[in-house]
A and B are shown apart, each in its own frame.
Chain A
Amino acid sequence: MSIALKRRDAGTVALLGGPVLICAIAIIAPLALTLMVSFWERQMIGMKPGFTLASYALFFDGARFTVLERSFWMAASATIIMLAIAYPAAYLATFKLAPQRTRIFLFLLSVPFLVNYVIRTFAWAYLLGRTGPVNGLLQVLGLTAAPVDWLLFSDFAVYLGLVAAYMPFMVYPIWLSLSAIDRRLIEASWMLGEPPLGTFLRVVLPLSLPGVSAAAIFGFVGSFGEVAVSQILGGVGYQLMGNAITSSLDVLNYPMAAAMSSVVVGCMLLMLTLWLRVFDLRLFLGKMLGR
């Protein structure tokens, strides 16, 4: 980069630095405040400044911890399912479609993502219901005599809702790193006699790991803190971490909501830090940074 562009003057610093600083504060300050509040004491209504681990103790001790555990496994397994769909999709779109068609496919993938996922989840509740089209189809095909109950208000329904909500989002980072792979490396591997599977396992897969991990973080974080999918498709009493947080907020237990939220954000920051340590951001965003 040229020296002229690096040259800084007071005007530029203020004009660019100001808004960026405001954004940074608006993003970080609430998270820091939440961590602080999580150590405060709970009052009958509201909270009192102080330092107590009461909220954390209650969290890790009680029924909420089961919710944390369940959310964790749910999010982890959902992430693996989503990767199992998103990776082949990104792979096929990158290597098996003409560039023009890849763009069209990625565009079509993004359209439903932009439609409110809560509305899409409501629609799934109808599609999967006892009198819904999926059950109707199963009966017409003779696969089942009576409506299948486990389609809705079940783990299955929640998995399906999570996949519908977050999987499309995961295709992009994987596609980004797959399309950044230097095709000559793949050719070289072929020429050196490596069979297609070997080429995939030893060249393509390792080089696409930055995108895979970014996608995994997206999917995991989304599923972990989910509110709407679990409430609509899981049925009454089905709780994931996001539900536990919002229900604490509903009963005005701010320190508890803050403690649970901080644990979730802490997990997320840990994963993000690990990701940034293992992979160079430029490997992944190199295309966008343009250098």
Chain B
Amino acid sequence: MASRMTSSGRRTPPGRSLVWLFLIGILVFLYAPLVPPVLLALQDPATGTLNVTSFGAIAGDQVLMGALLNSVIRAIIVGIAAPLLGLAAAQAVRAFGIPRLIITVILLPLFIPGASMGVSTSLFFKLTAIPPSLFTMAVVQILWALPFAFLIILTVMSGFDTIYLEAAYTSGSNRLQAFWDIELPQIAPGISGAAIFSIILSFNETVRTAIVQGGNNTVQTFVWSRYQQVGLTPNMYALMSLIIAVTLLLILALVVLGRRGQNKTQGRAVTTASEG
């Protein structure tokens, strides 16, 4: 069916190229904004000449370096906590008889605007007398990353045949052993993928974090508050270019990891097939 459609598409080249034009047009529209920050960072607004001083200048900004450290620490916390919680939730979907309820609750933050979620969590911390800190910022970001981590792990788990677990149980292993020795190696690529995804989301989150930041800054809230207070300078554009570069590198890591995971499972499938 699919092949029939493609072949009929090939017989009518104009239709085919319109399809490509539309899809590539969308991609151009989405990728266009990734370019200007680099140009604006390199260009001196007064003279119009190109130089890299703005990149050097941001390294000397103490507040920014503190914000960067905060961002890294929180990205690590979110990158560990969100996949673990997502794994627990995904396992609970399978183990408990209430999959709809669990999925709805965990995915809820996806459907709530950033401002509302930020206000709610900041009120929650205010009433429970928890001062704004790295912890509160981490909680907000974990709740934001959790639905994505959960969906990724759920997808990978759906490709795992539970019959292997039953085999482990009948061979006398307990639940924990069966999970650790049988299921975990199979779904590990999904978990590390969820971890990197969570790190990227944490690193790039502004609106929710800005509401509960208190006196702390992340790289993102730093850019946002500078924009609101004094406007954007080449230094800020330099920072944005670096954020874009780091994000793209993390995505590259995700791709490499995905490739490796794929090869591994394929390799294993071959081994199992040859053994059988």
Contact = CB atoms under 8 A, between A and B. Distances in A.
Please determine whether chains A and B interact with each other in the same assembly.
yes
Interface string B121-148: 1111011000000000001000100100
Contacts of A17: 92, 96
A227 B244 contact: no
Nearest to A18: B88
A258 B119 contact: yes
Interface in B134-165: 139, 143, 146, 151, 154-155, 157-159, 162-163, 165
A116 B204 CA distance: 5
Interface in A208-251: 217-218, 221-222, 224-228, 232, 241-242, 245-246, 249
Nearest to B120: A30
Interface in B154-208: 154-155, 157-159, 162-163, 165-166, 169, 175-176, 200-201, 203-207
B166 A2 contact: yes
A264 B120 CA distance: 12
A85 B40 CA distance: 30
Interface in B51-76: none
Interface in A177-192: 183-184, 186-187
Interface in B4-39: 5-6, 9, 16, 19, 22-23, 26-27, 29-37
B110 A264 contact: no
Contact of A241 (B95, B96, B105, B115): B115
B213 to A, nearest CB: 12
Contacts of B240: 119, 122-123
Given A245-B119, A289-B99, A108 B113 contact: no
Interface in A253-287: 254, 257-258, 261, 264-265, 268, 272, 276, 281, 285, 287
B227 A122 contact: yes
A19 B106 CA distance: 11
A226 B5 CA distance: 40
Interface in B230-257: 232, 240, 243-244, 247-248, 251, 255
A227 B34 CA distance: 20
Interface stretch (A21-29, A54-62, A146-154): A21-29
Contact of B165 (A5, A23, A281): A5
Nearest to A37: B123
Interface of B: 1-2, 5-6, 9, 16, 19, 22-23, 26-27, 29-37, 40, 84-85, 88-89, 91-97, 99-100, 102-106, 108-124, 126-127, 139, 143, 146, 151, 154-155, 157-159, 162-163, 165-166, 169, 175-176, 200-201, 203-207, 211, 220, 223-224, 227, 232, 240, 243-244, 247-248, 251, 255
Nearest to A2: B166
A120 interface: yes
Interface residues of A, number: 94
Contact of A122 (B23, B97, B175, B232): B232
Given A16-B88, A114-B247, A281-B100, A225 B115 contact: yes
Contact of A118 (B92, B97, B223): B223
B111 A89 contact: no
A111 B33 CA distance: 12
Nearest to A226: B113
Contact of B92 (A20, A85, A114): A20
For the complex of A and B, list the 5 residue pairs with the smallest distance between their C-beta atoms, beginning with the closest.
Answer: A225-B113, A290-B158, A123-B33, A30-B120, A242-B115
A164 B119 contact: no
Contacts of A257: 119, 123
Contacts of B92: 16-17, 20
B36 A127 contact: yes
A122 B228 CA distance: 12
Contacts of A226: 113, 115
A74 interface: no
B177 to A, nearest CB: 12
24 contacts: A2-B163, A11-B176, A12-B175, A27-B106, A34-B120, A34-B124, A92-B23, A111-B31, A112-B34, A118-B224, A124-B33, A183-B2, A184-B1, A217-B111, A218-B111, A221-B111, A225-B115, A227-B115, A228-B206, A228-B224, A246-B119, A272-B111, A288-B158, A290-B159
Contacts of B206: 116, 118, 228
A34 B99 contact: no
A89 B163 CA distance: 38
Given A27-B105, A123-B34, A123-B35, A224 B113 contact: yes
Most A CB within 10 A of own CB, among B113, B118, B207: B113
Contacts of B175: 9, 11-12
A115 B32 contact: no
Contact of A19 (B89, B200, B203): B89
A4 interface: yes
Contacts of B114: 225, 227, 242
A241 B112 CA distance: 13
A33 interface: yes
Nearest to B126: A254
A288 B155 contact: yes
B165 A264 contact: no
Contacts of A186: 1
